[in-house]
Amino acid sequence: MNAGRYLLDVNILVALFDPGHIHHRSVARWFGTPGLQWGVCAFSEAGFLRVSIGTAAGRRTLEQAANIIKSFSNDPNFSYWPMRASWASLTEPFQRRVYGHRQITDAYLLGLAIKEKGVLVTLDKAIRYLAGPRYTKHLLVLE
C-alpha cells in the first residue's frame, strides 16, 4: 500500500531512532517518503518508552525518550491515533488467529489500523498470519 495513514509499531520507532539498529536504514529510508502521513497511539508511545529506557538497545533516559515522543507533534504529517475501542471489538475479525500472548498488542494495533482505514507499519513478519488475506492491505512489513 503506497498511500494512506500509517500507524507505527514500537519496533519501527525503535529502529528509526537507533542508528545502530539492524533495520535503521530501511526504516529511515521509508520514513523519509515525502508527504508520509504517520502517527502513533498510546501503545506505540509506551512501548517505545519501555524499550528505550529499559533495555540495552535503548540506552536513553526517560527524559530523552519522552523528548523524542514530544518532538512528534512538530511534524506536520504526524497525527495521534486515539484508542477508543475495546480489544475485543477491534480484533473480532481475526481473533481466532491470535496464537499467543505476544500478539495481544499487535492484534490491537492491527485492529486500530483497520478501524481507522490506515496501515500498521511493523518489522514483525509473523503478523501477516494474524492479518490473513483479508486485512493485508492494512499492513506494511518493512524488511
Give residue 3's pLDDT.
Answer: 57
Q: Which residues contact 105 (CB under 8 A, 6 or more apart)?
A: 43, 47
pLDDT at 1 over 90: no
CA distance 62 to 22: 23
CA distance 26 to 33: 11
CA distance 107 to 90: 8
Of the chain, the percentage scoring pLDDT greater than 70 comes to 96
Q: Which three cell numbers stand for residue 34?
A: 515525502
Question: In this predicted model, what pLDDT tens digit does every residue of 84-109 receive, in sequence order?
Answer: 999 999 999 999 999 888 889 999 99
Into which CATH architecture does domain 5-141 fall?
Answer: 3-Layer(aba) Sandwich (3.40)
Mean pLDDT of 119-123: 97
Q: How confident is the model at residue 2 (pLDDT cuts 50, 70, 90)?
A: very low
The full 3-state SS of 13-44, as one line of letters, equals HHHHHCCCCCCHHHHHHHHCCCCCEEEECHHH
CA distance 143 to 80: 25
Measured N-to-C along each axis, helices 104-115 and 42-54 cross at an angle, to the nearest 10 degrees, of 140
CB 138 within 8 A of CB 114: yes
